[in-house]
Amino acid sequence: DAIKNFISGLPKAELHLHIEGTFEPELMFGIAERNHIDLKYNSVDDLKSAYDFNNLQEFLDIYYSGTNVLIEEQDFYDLTWAYLQKIHSQNVLHTEIFFDPQTHTSRGVAFDKVISGIHRALGDGRSKLGISSFLILSFLRHLSEESAFQTLEEALPYKSWITAIGLDSSEKGHPPNKFERVFTKAQAEGFLTVAHAGEEGSPEYVWEALKLLQVSRIDHGNRSLEDSLLIDELVKRKMSLTVCPLSNLKLKVVRDMTQHPLAKMLDKGMMATVNSDDPAYFGGYVNENYEAVAVALKLTKGQIVQLAKNSFTASFLNEVEKKAMI
């Protein structure tokens, strides 16, 4: 219908996307078979019926178990290529992709296989689909500071392939301050920084991400709205928030899409963007996320255009590149 066509016609960037969260069940079964790994589900439908989450942790448990079939460089290529083809059909011109190396290295898969497969697909995305992209290495916050330092060390030979360092996984009990030293090191090595904060964690986690991790963006940031001083600070800094509406609904960060904080963020002048987070698990890619909030929050066309523009403004593209895409 009209709003759907309007959204799909807009050029967009995606800034909050976990490549492991794009693993569609059909591809998962295919890769499991060629790697001779038994999934504990009998069929695609059986697997999909497990995608019913009450919180972040219930999702993470399934998300990490899905990655167990990813072994070879080609597996990471295929995963990334499938995502790029999908967003090409949605008029996404630029994407900034998280990957979670510890999820794979902890299973004995070499860092090189993971990043080489993803990087090769991103190169093909650029040459064959015209999609520009950056890669964000994300530390798993439920693991130790030492493990994050070790992962940063492993990443240094691939520095030119990685734009930023991020922080994801189980938020509560793992505040940004746990990673202050490793983020300082990452910045000294020339990486930009971002962090998931305020998805389930308190506004204090968002403050810490700003002050201790010197982030360029807050991933999610929903709970910032509970702290009016924090709202003022985010507006003053023009700090972008990478908001993920369908993720918030599926993980029960919001009760109902009509209760989603995105409209409030825009009203307050915050630099909010719309993203898909883990589209294979949450029921939609970028366009479906725009559609869900546009309908539930009765966004105007002007607001929808603003969100699409924000996605480029908040990206790590340079000013010339941004201008060419908006």
Which residue has tokens 């909050």?
Answer: 16
Q: Give me Rg for the CA atoms of the chain.
A: 18
Nearer to ligand HPA, 92 or 136 (CB): 136
Within 13 A of 132's CA, how many CA atoms are on the CB side? Answer: 15
Residue 277 sits in the site that holds ligand HPA (CB under 6 A): yes
The phi and psi torsions of 139 (rounded to 5 degrees) equal -80, 145
SS3 210: helix
Selected binder of ligand HPA within 7, 56, 70, 304 (CB under 6 A): 56
Report the nearest approach of ligand HPA to the CB of residue 68 (Å): 16
Q: 208 contacts which partner out of ligand HPA, Zn ion, none, CB within 5 to 8 A by kind?
A: none
Contact string 132-171 vs ligand HPA (x = CB under 6 A): ------------------------------------xx--
Residue 21 sits in the site that holds ligand HPA (CB under 6 A): yes
Nearer to Zn ion, 73 or 168 (CB): 168
Q: Is 168 annotated as a binding residue?
A: no
Asked if residue 57 lies in contact with residue 170, where contact means CB atoms within 8 angstroms, the answer is: yes
Asked if residue 133 lies in contact with residue 122, where contact means CB atoms within 8 angstroms, the answer is: yes
Q: Is 220 annotated as a binding residue?
A: no
Q: 169 contacts which partner out of Zn ion, ligand HPA, none, CB within 5 to 8 A by kind?
A: ligand HPA
Q: Is 256 annotated as a binding residue?
A: no
Nearer to Zn ion, 194 or 296 (CB): 194
Q: Is 277 annotated as a binding residue?
A: yes
Q: Report the alpha-carbon distance of residue 181 to residue 188 in Å, rounded.
A: 11
Selected binder of ligand HPA within 75, 154, 208, 278 (CB under 6 A): 278
Nearer to ligand HPA, 208 or 277 (CB): 277
The two tokens of residue 298 are 């009765």
Report the nearest approach of ligand HPA to the CB of residue 18 (Å): 4
Selected binder of ligand HPA within 94, 196, 217, 309 (CB under 6 A): 196
Q: Which helix (H) or strand (E) element contains residue 104?
A: helix 101-105
Q: Report the alpha-carbon distance of residue 61 to residue 37 in Å, rounded.
A: 18
Selected binder of Zn ion within 186, 277, 279, 297 (CB under 5 A): 277
Selected binder of ligand HPA within 12, 14, 18, 197 (CB under 6 A): 18
Catalytic residue among 14, 24, 199, 291: 199
Residue 194 CB partners (closer than 8 Å, separation 6+): 136, 164, 165, 166, 167, 215, 216, 217, 218, 219, 242
Q: Is 174 annotated as a binding residue?
A: no
- What residue type is 74 in one-letter code? Q
- What residue type is 262 in one-letter code? L
Question: Is 180 assigned a catalytic role?
Answer: no
Positive or negative CA dihedral for 302, 305, 307, 310?
Answer: negative
Which residue has tokens 């898909």?
Answer: 276
Report the nearest approach of Zn ion to the CB of residue 254 (Å): 15
- Rounded to the nearest 5 percent, the helix, strand and coil shares of the chain are 55, 15, 30
Report the nearest approach of ligand HPA to the CB of residue 55 (Å): 11
Q: 199 contacts which partner out of Zn ion, ligand HPA, none, CB within 5 to 8 A by kind?
A: ligand HPA
Asked if residue 92 lies in contact with residue 13, where contact means CB atoms within 8 angstroms, the answer is: yes
Asked if residue 125 lies in contact with residue 131, where contact means CB atoms within 8 angstroms, the answer is: yes
Selected binder of ligand HPA within 80, 247, 287, 289 (CB under 6 A): 247
The two tokens of residue 275 are 């993203």
Report the nearest approach of ligand HPA to the CB of residue 167 (Å): 9
Asked if residue 195 lies in contact with residue 161, where contact means CB atoms within 8 angstroms, the answer is: no
* Residues known to be catalytic: 199
Detail the residues annotated as belonging to a binding site: 16, 18, 196, 277-278
Detail the residues annotated as belonging to a binding site for Zn(2+): 16, 18, 196, 277
Detail the residues annotated as belonging to a binding site for substrate: 278
What residues line the site for Zn ion (CB under 5 A)? 277
